[in-house]
Amino acid sequence: MPEVLVHPPMATTSLPAIPDSAPIQGAGKPMISSRKIARRVQQLGREISARYADLDQPLVLVVILKGAAVFAADLLRSLSIPAELEFVRASSYGAGTSSSGKVKFAHMVDGPLTGRHLLLVEDIVDSGRTINVIVRKLRSHRPASVKLAALLDRPARREEDVAIHFTGFVIPDRFVIGYGLDYAGLYRELPAIYSLG
């Protein structure tokens, strides 16, 4: 079961000025520590490996760049089943803290996906628009199945129904950075997840 964070500790920082901000790391308590993330990703890896244990060909992880890159790298290494990697480059946030509402694509998978079992890997699901557009596009390849693993679920911003099959953490309506998630392209390198404001 995903961990539901109802009253997360707030970072003590306010929204940092970009690009001359003081480093966030160490400035406030993380919303989700790197240890908690690591533990949850290992659990997800076990769940996913068990769910797909009987496949006769490798699972295909479809990583939604850029935010999911860090999660996907750890999730991949927590699997005990064979897996291939594909990438989709989608963005909707631009430089702000809320989605622009338009999903832009710069890259859409290389390999043939017909008859394959796909597991989309997302860092966060907000409105649900990005993932739903991608699922629709991927279904046109006639895969055997399409499921979604999302590290973070922020249901307060949901505008479209989304089926998340493997959820890391359900978080409240705070803008978050770290572990792949950015603010204006920065802070993806932070090992924990912090809330801004």
CA Rg, the chain, in Å? 16
- What is the C-alpha separation between 70 and 67, in angstroms, rounded? 7
| Closest CB 192 distance from ligand PRP, rounded Å | 17
Closer CB to ligand PRP, 59 or 120, in the complex: 120
- Report the C-alpha dihedral over residues 103, 1, 146, 41, rounded to 10 degrees: 70
Query: What are the helix (H) ranges across the chain?
Result: 34-51, 69-77, 129-139
* Residues forming a β-bridge with 158: none
Does residue 173 have an active-site annotation? no
Where along the sequence are the contacts to ligand PRP (CB under 6 A)?
Answer: 64-67, 90-93, 99, 122-130, 182
- What is the C-alpha separation between 29 and 182, in angstroms, rounded? 17
**Active-site option among 20, 54, 74, 126:** 126
Closer CB to ligand PRP, 58 or 172, in the complex: 172
- What is the C-alpha separation between 11 and 14, in angstroms, rounded? 8
Catalytic residues: 126
